[in-house]
Amino acid sequence: MRHLLWLVPVGLLLAAFGAACGGSERPRTLAEYVDRLDAIFSNTSTRIDDINAKFEDANTEAETDEEHMDAFRVLFEEMAKAADGVTDQLESLRPPSPLLDDEHAELVGSAANVASILEDFSRRADESQSLEEMRKLFAELEDPQYDAAVLRMGNACGFFENLATDNGIDLELRCSFVDVGTEHSQ
Protein backbone atom coordinates (compact mmCIF):
# COMPACT_ATOMS: atom_id res chain seq x y z
CA MET A 1 0.00 0.00 0.00
CA ARG A 2 2.84 2.40 0.81
CA HIS A 3 4.22 1.90 -2.67
CA LEU A 4 1.05 3.23 -4.24
CA LEU A 5 1.17 6.55 -2.34
CA TRP A 6 3.45 8.07 -4.99
CA LEU A 7 0.55 7.78 -7.44
CA VAL A 8 -1.48 10.40 -5.57
CA PRO A 9 0.90 13.32 -6.29
CA VAL A 10 1.34 12.11 -9.87
CA GLY A 11 -2.44 11.98 -10.32
CA LEU A 12 -2.84 15.46 -8.87
CA LEU A 13 -0.07 16.74 -11.12
CA LEU A 14 -1.70 15.20 -14.20
CA ALA A 15 -5.08 16.69 -13.25
CA ALA A 16 -3.52 20.13 -12.78
CA PHE A 17 -1.65 19.79 -16.07
CA GLY A 18 -4.85 18.79 -17.87
CA ALA A 19 -6.70 21.79 -16.45
CA ALA A 20 -3.86 24.15 -17.37
CA CYS A 21 -3.78 22.81 -20.93
CA GLY A 22 -7.44 23.48 -21.49
CA GLY A 23 -8.61 20.08 -20.37
CA SER A 24 -12.06 19.89 -18.94
CA GLU A 25 -14.05 17.43 -16.99
CA ARG A 26 -17.39 15.97 -17.82
CA PRO A 27 -19.97 16.36 -15.09
CA ARG A 28 -21.20 12.93 -14.07
CA THR A 29 -24.89 13.68 -14.51
CA LEU A 30 -27.17 15.84 -16.59
CA ALA A 31 -28.26 17.56 -13.38
CA GLU A 32 -24.66 18.58 -12.61
CA TYR A 33 -24.17 19.83 -16.16
CA VAL A 34 -27.33 21.94 -16.26
CA ASP A 35 -26.54 23.26 -12.77
CA ARG A 36 -23.23 24.51 -14.15
CA LEU A 37 -24.96 26.02 -17.19
CA ASP A 38 -27.44 27.69 -14.86
CA ALA A 39 -24.62 29.11 -12.73
CA ILE A 40 -22.79 30.44 -15.79
CA PHE A 41 -25.86 32.15 -17.19
CA SER A 42 -27.24 33.35 -13.84
CA ASN A 43 -23.94 35.03 -13.00
CA THR A 44 -23.78 36.55 -16.47
CA SER A 45 -27.37 37.76 -16.28
CA THR A 46 -26.56 39.53 -13.00
CA ARG A 47 -23.46 41.02 -14.60
CA ILE A 48 -25.47 42.23 -17.62
CA ASP A 49 -28.02 43.84 -15.31
CA ASP A 50 -25.18 45.65 -13.51
CA ILE A 51 -23.61 46.76 -16.80
CA ASN A 52 -26.96 48.08 -18.05
CA ALA A 53 -27.64 49.90 -14.78
CA LYS A 54 -24.21 51.56 -14.85
CA PHE A 55 -24.75 52.53 -18.50
CA GLU A 56 -28.14 54.04 -17.80
CA ASP A 57 -26.77 55.99 -14.82
CA ALA A 58 -23.75 57.24 -16.79
CA ASN A 59 -25.86 58.13 -19.81
CA THR A 60 -28.46 59.92 -17.68
CA GLU A 61 -25.81 61.90 -15.81
CA ALA A 62 -23.82 62.73 -18.95
CA GLU A 63 -23.84 66.40 -19.86
CA THR A 64 -21.59 66.43 -22.92
CA ASP A 65 -21.50 64.40 -26.10
CA GLU A 66 -18.14 62.98 -25.02
CA GLU A 67 -19.60 61.77 -21.71
CA HIS A 68 -22.46 60.09 -23.58
CA MET A 69 -19.96 58.49 -25.96
CA ASP A 70 -17.88 57.25 -23.02
CA ALA A 71 -21.00 55.63 -21.55
CA PHE A 72 -21.61 53.80 -24.85
CA ARG A 73 -17.95 52.73 -25.07
CA VAL A 74 -18.02 51.26 -21.59
CA LEU A 75 -21.33 49.52 -22.31
CA PHE A 76 -20.02 47.79 -25.44
CA GLU A 77 -16.67 46.94 -23.86
CA GLU A 78 -18.26 45.40 -20.78
CA MET A 79 -20.87 43.49 -22.80
CA ALA A 80 -18.12 42.07 -25.02
CA LYS A 81 -16.17 40.99 -21.93
CA ALA A 82 -19.29 39.35 -20.48
CA ALA A 83 -19.92 37.43 -23.71
CA ASP A 84 -16.27 36.37 -23.89
CA GLY A 85 -16.53 35.14 -20.31
CA VAL A 86 -19.56 33.02 -21.14
CA THR A 87 -17.77 31.54 -24.14
CA ASP A 88 -14.66 30.72 -22.10
CA GLN A 89 -16.69 29.07 -19.35
CA LEU A 90 -18.73 27.03 -21.81
CA GLU A 91 -15.59 25.93 -23.65
CA SER A 92 -14.18 24.56 -20.41
CA LEU A 93 -17.34 22.58 -19.68
CA ARG A 94 -18.30 19.28 -21.28
CA PRO A 95 -21.71 17.62 -21.22
CA PRO A 96 -22.08 14.42 -19.21
CA SER A 97 -22.39 12.31 -22.34
CA PRO A 98 -20.56 12.45 -25.66
CA LEU A 99 -24.03 12.14 -27.21
CA LEU A 100 -24.56 15.80 -26.28
CA ASP A 101 -21.24 17.06 -27.63
CA ASP A 102 -22.79 18.48 -30.82
CA GLU A 103 -25.49 20.36 -28.92
CA HIS A 104 -22.89 21.69 -26.48
CA ALA A 105 -20.68 22.74 -29.40
CA GLU A 106 -23.66 24.65 -30.83
CA LEU A 107 -24.13 26.42 -27.49
CA VAL A 108 -20.44 27.34 -27.39
CA GLY A 109 -20.50 28.42 -31.05
CA SER A 110 -23.58 30.56 -30.56
CA ALA A 111 -22.03 32.25 -27.51
CA ALA A 112 -18.82 32.84 -29.47
CA ASN A 113 -20.84 34.38 -32.31
CA VAL A 114 -22.55 36.82 -29.93
CA ALA A 115 -19.17 37.61 -28.35
CA SER A 116 -17.63 38.28 -31.76
CA ILE A 117 -20.41 40.68 -32.72
CA LEU A 118 -20.15 42.51 -29.40
CA GLU A 119 -16.36 42.73 -29.75
CA ASP A 120 -16.91 44.33 -33.16
CA PHE A 121 -19.39 46.78 -31.59
CA SER A 122 -16.82 47.60 -28.91
CA ARG A 123 -14.10 48.20 -31.50
CA ARG A 124 -16.40 50.36 -33.59
CA ALA A 125 -17.51 52.29 -30.50
CA ASP A 126 -13.88 53.09 -29.76
CA GLU A 127 -13.49 54.38 -33.32
CA SER A 128 -16.67 56.50 -33.29
CA GLN A 129 -16.05 60.21 -33.67
CA SER A 130 -19.47 61.60 -32.80
CA LEU A 131 -22.48 60.90 -30.65
CA GLU A 132 -24.53 60.47 -33.82
CA GLU A 133 -22.18 57.68 -35.00
CA MET A 134 -22.47 56.08 -31.58
CA ARG A 135 -26.27 56.20 -31.69
CA LYS A 136 -26.27 54.61 -35.15
CA LEU A 137 -24.04 51.87 -33.82
CA PHE A 138 -26.35 51.39 -30.84
CA ALA A 139 -29.32 51.14 -33.24
CA GLU A 140 -27.56 48.25 -34.99
CA LEU A 141 -28.40 46.10 -31.98
CA GLU A 142 -31.78 45.87 -33.71
CA ASP A 143 -29.99 44.54 -36.80
CA PRO A 144 -31.07 41.10 -38.05
CA GLN A 145 -27.48 39.81 -37.75
CA TYR A 146 -27.38 40.49 -34.02
CA ASP A 147 -30.95 39.26 -33.55
CA ALA A 148 -30.07 36.04 -35.38
CA ALA A 149 -27.01 35.50 -33.19
CA VAL A 150 -29.02 36.03 -30.01
CA LEU A 151 -31.82 33.79 -31.32
CA ARG A 152 -29.29 31.06 -32.16
CA MET A 153 -27.96 31.23 -28.61
CA GLY A 154 -31.49 31.17 -27.22
CA ASN A 155 -32.32 28.09 -29.29
CA ALA A 156 -29.17 26.32 -28.08
CA CYS A 157 -30.12 27.13 -24.49
CA GLY A 158 -33.69 26.04 -25.16
CA PHE A 159 -32.45 22.61 -26.17
CA PHE A 160 -30.82 22.12 -22.76
CA GLU A 161 -33.83 23.59 -20.92
CA ASN A 162 -36.11 21.11 -22.70
CA LEU A 163 -33.72 18.23 -22.08
CA ALA A 164 -33.60 19.12 -18.39
CA THR A 165 -37.39 19.37 -18.19
CA ASP A 166 -37.77 16.03 -19.98
CA ASN A 167 -35.52 14.54 -17.30
CA GLY A 168 -37.43 16.04 -14.37
CA ILE A 169 -35.05 18.95 -13.77
CA ASP A 170 -36.63 22.37 -13.32
CA LEU A 171 -34.45 24.83 -15.23
CA GLU A 172 -34.81 28.20 -16.91
CA LEU A 173 -31.55 29.38 -18.44
CA ARG A 174 -31.27 33.13 -18.84
CA CYS A 175 -28.73 32.97 -21.64
CA SER A 176 -29.31 36.02 -23.72
CA PHE A 177 -27.67 39.27 -24.60
CA VAL A 178 -30.93 40.80 -25.82
CA ASP A 179 -31.05 43.60 -23.27
CA VAL A 180 -27.93 45.59 -24.12
CA GLY A 181 -28.59 49.01 -22.61
CA THR A 182 -31.41 51.39 -23.29
CA GLU A 183 -30.64 54.78 -24.65
CA HIS A 184 -31.89 57.91 -22.95
CA SER A 185 -32.11 61.09 -24.96
CA GLN A 186 -29.90 63.95 -23.92
Predicted local distance difference test score (pLDDT) of residue 12: 31
For residues 162 and 6, give the distance between their C-alpha atoms in angstroms, rounded to a whole number.
Answer: 45
| pTM assigned to the model | 0.79
Q: What is the mean pLDDT of residues 28-46?
A: 92
> Who wins on pLDDT, 96 or 11?
96
Cβ-proximal residues to 32 (8 Å cutoff; 6+ apart), any chain: 96
Average pLDDT score over the chain: 82
Confidence of residue 77 (pLDDT cuts 50, 70, 90): very high
Q: How far is CA 161 from the centre of its chain?
A: 17
pLDDT of residue 55: 92
pLDDT tens-digit readout, 115-163: 999 999 899 999 999 989 988 888 887 778 888 888 899 899 999 999 9
Is the predicted pLDDT of residue 6 greater than 50, yes or no? no
What pLDDT is recorded for position 57?
95
Residue 180 has pLDDT above 70, yes or no: no
Question: What is the Cα–Cα distance from 3 to 148, expressed in whole angstroms?
Answer: 58
Confidence grade of residue 102 (pLDDT, cut at 50, 70, 90): very high
The lowest-confidence range among 12-21, 63-72, 136-145, 160-169 is 12-21
Query: CA-CA distance, 183 to 139, in Å (whole number)?
Result: 9
